[in-house]
A and B are shown apart, each in its own frame.
Chain A
C-alpha cells in the first residue's frame, strides 16, 4: 500500500508541475529526458556491467528517423510526430540488434572503446550525409498549436516516455531478466557455463535501451527545434557524457539511482551552470573524474552500503 501511495504522489506532482511552474516547462521536459537517458545507460552500464559510451547513437538515430518521417511522409503534425517517433524507436532497435550482434561479444575494455568509436563515427557519418542535411542539420516542422502549448505538450510527451521507461525497467529487473543481467555483470563466464545465453540477453538489453532512447530522441529533436549532427543528435560531449555521469552519480546498478542522479544533475546544471561562464564542460570533466574516483558507488550505492537492511538485504550477524 505504502509504495503505491508514493508512486501516486510522484505521478500527481509530475502531472501538476507544468501548471505550477509554467515558465520552466521546457527545462522540466528535459528533466524527464535526462531520467530516460540515465535509466537506459544504467541498464547496460550498471545492471549488466557493460560501459557503453555509444548509447547516444540510438538517441541520434531516433531523432533523425523521426525528423525524416515528419519531413517526407506528408502527414499532419501529430500523426507525423507519433509515427516518426515509432519509426525512430524501431530503427534504433534494429540498429541495436545489428550492432549488438558484433559488438556485444566484446568484453570490458574492448566494448567500451568500440562504443566510444561508434558514437563519434555516427556523428561524422551524419554530418557528411546530404540526405539528412549533412553538417547543416535538420529542422523539424513547427508545432501547430498556440504559443506556450508547445512546451506543455512536450513536457507531457517526455514525461510519458519516462513514465513508461521506469516501470518497464523495474519489472524487468525484478524478474529472471534482471537476474541474468546481474549474473553477466558479476561473472559472465560462469553465467554462460550455467547455461545462460549471455549474448542473447545482452542484445535484448541493448535493444530495450535503444527503444527508449529512440523514442526520447524523436521527442528531443522536436523539442530543441534543430538537429545538429554533432551537437544535438550524436552529442557525445553533452548528452552522451551526461548519461554516464548521472547514472554513476545516483548509483549505478540501482533502480532509483539513475533517476536521482538525473534529477540532481539536471537541477544543478540549470541552476548553477550559467554562473560558470563557459567553464561548464571543464566542470563536467572534473566532475566525472571526481565522482568516479572518490565516489564510485554513487549516492544510492553508498546508502545501500551504509543501511543494507533498508534496501531489503539481510545482514548476517557477525
Chain B
C-alpha cells in the first residue's frame, strides 16, 4: 500500500494517471465500438475481437518496418483488416450467424486460438513495437508528461467513432445495417441483402479493430497473446454502455482506462491483467443482481 500513500502525497500523480487513463481508454473504445456493432447487428459475440486488434498491431508494425510512417500505418492497417474481416465472414462467420449462441461463441473462440497461434507461428513470440517518433509532451515544468502518440490515438478514436455514427446515420449501407439490426427478416423482405450487410458489418468491425491495434502497436507493444484482454475489455465496455450508443461506449471506455491505470499503479503492473479479468466478473455479477432487482433478468 506504499503506492496508495504516494498517490495522496504527490498531488499531480493522480492527475497524470487520470490523463493517461482517459487517453488509453479511447483506444479501448475502438475495439468496443466494433464489438457493439457486430453484437447488435449480427447477434454474435466475437471472442476473436482481441485477435483482430493484435493482427492490426502486426500490420502496423510491418508497415513501419517497410518505411511507412506510423500515422499512415493506422488507415492502412484498418484497410488490411477490412479485407481480412471480409474474408473471415465469407469463409467462417456466415455459417454461424443464424445458429444458436453456443455455436457462434465456440466458433469465434476457436477462431481466436487459430489467429493467435498463426501469429505466433509466423511472427514469433517476440514483443515488437512500431516507434511513432512523436516523443512526449512535457507540461508544468516536467510534472506532467503525456506521450504525444496517446493524444493522436485519442483523436483517432474520436474521429473513427464520429465517422462510424455518420456512416450508420446517413449512408445507404448504414441504413441497411441499422434496418438489419432492428429486424433482419423484415429487412430481407424489404429487399436488403442481409448477407452483404453482415459481411460489411464484420469487415467494418475488423477495420476498426485494425486501427485500434495499430495505435496499440505505437503506444505500447504487440505480441501474439495480447488479444484476450482486449476482447474482455470490449465486452465489459459494451455491457456497461449498452448496444448502439457511441458516446456511452466512449465514456465507459474512458472510465475503464482510468480504473485500470489506477489499479495498475496501486496493485503493481503485474496484477493489471488480473484486475481486468476480476473486474469483468465483478461487473457481470453486479449487473445480474441489478437486473434481478428490477425483475428484468428473465428477459
Give A contacts to B, CB under 8 Å. 49, 51, 53, 102-103, 105-110, 112-114, 116-118, 120-121, 124-125, 128, 189, 237, 241, 244, 248, 278-279, 281-282, 284-289, 292-293, 296
Task: Given contacts A244-B106, A292-B103, list 15 more A-B pairs with CB under 8 A.
Answer: A49-B102, A112-B105, A116-B47, A116-B109, A116-B228, A118-B281, A120-B273, A121-B278, A124-B277, A128-B270, A282-B114, A284-B113, A286-B114, A292-B106, A293-B92
| Stretch from B117-125, B138-146, B183-191 contacting the other chain | B117-125
B163 within 8 A of A: no
Which A-chain residue is minimally distant from B273 (CB atoms)?
A124
If over half of B's interface residues share one DSSP class (helix, strand or loop), that class is named, otherwise mixed; here it is helix
CB–CB B113/A237 < 8 A:
yes
A39 and B283 CA atoms in complex are apart in Å by 30
Chain B residues with Cβ under 8 A from A293's Cβ? Answer: 92, 95-96, 103, 107
Chain A residues with Cβ under 8 A from B167's Cβ? Answer: none
B7 within 8 A of A: no
* Known contacts A53-B109, A103-B284, A120-B228; A289/B118 CB under 8 A: no
CB–CB A288/B113 < 8 A:
yes
If over half of A's interface residues share one DSSP class (helix, strand or loop), that class is named, otherwise mixed; here it is helix
A281 and B276 CA atoms in complex are apart in Å by 26
CB–CB A124/B271 < 8 A:
yes
Chain B residues with Cβ under 8 A from A241's Cβ? Answer: 113
CB–CB A113/B232 < 8 A:
yes
* A113 shortest CB reach to chain B, Å: 5
Which A-chain residue is minimally distant from B228 (CB atoms)?
A120
Chain B residues with Cβ under 8 A from A284's Cβ? Answer: 113, 117
Chain B residues with Cβ under 8 A from A287's Cβ? Answer: 110
* Known contacts A121-B274, A124-B274, A281-B117; A109/B228 CB under 8 A: no
- 19 contacts across the A-B interface (CB closer than 8 A): A102-B285, A105-B289, A105-B292, A106-B285, A110-B284, A113-B47, A114-B284, A117-B278, A124-B277, A125-B274, A237-B113, A279-B121, A281-B113, A282-B121, A284-B117, A285-B111, A288-B107, A289-B110, A289-B111
Residues 250 to 299 of chain B near chain A (Cβ within 8 Å): 270-271, 273-274, 276-278, 280-281, 284-285, 287-289, 292, 297-298
Chain B residues with Cβ under 8 A from A103's Cβ? Answer: 281, 284-285
Chain A residues with Cβ under 8 A from B111's Cβ? Answer: 285, 289
CB–CB A106/B274 < 8 A:
no
Closest 10 CB pairs of A and B: A288-B110, A285-B114, A121-B277, A285-B113, A124-B274, A102-B285, A289-B110, A117-B277, A281-B117, A117-B280
* Known contacts A51-B105, A121-B278, A293-B107; A285/B121 CB under 8 A: no
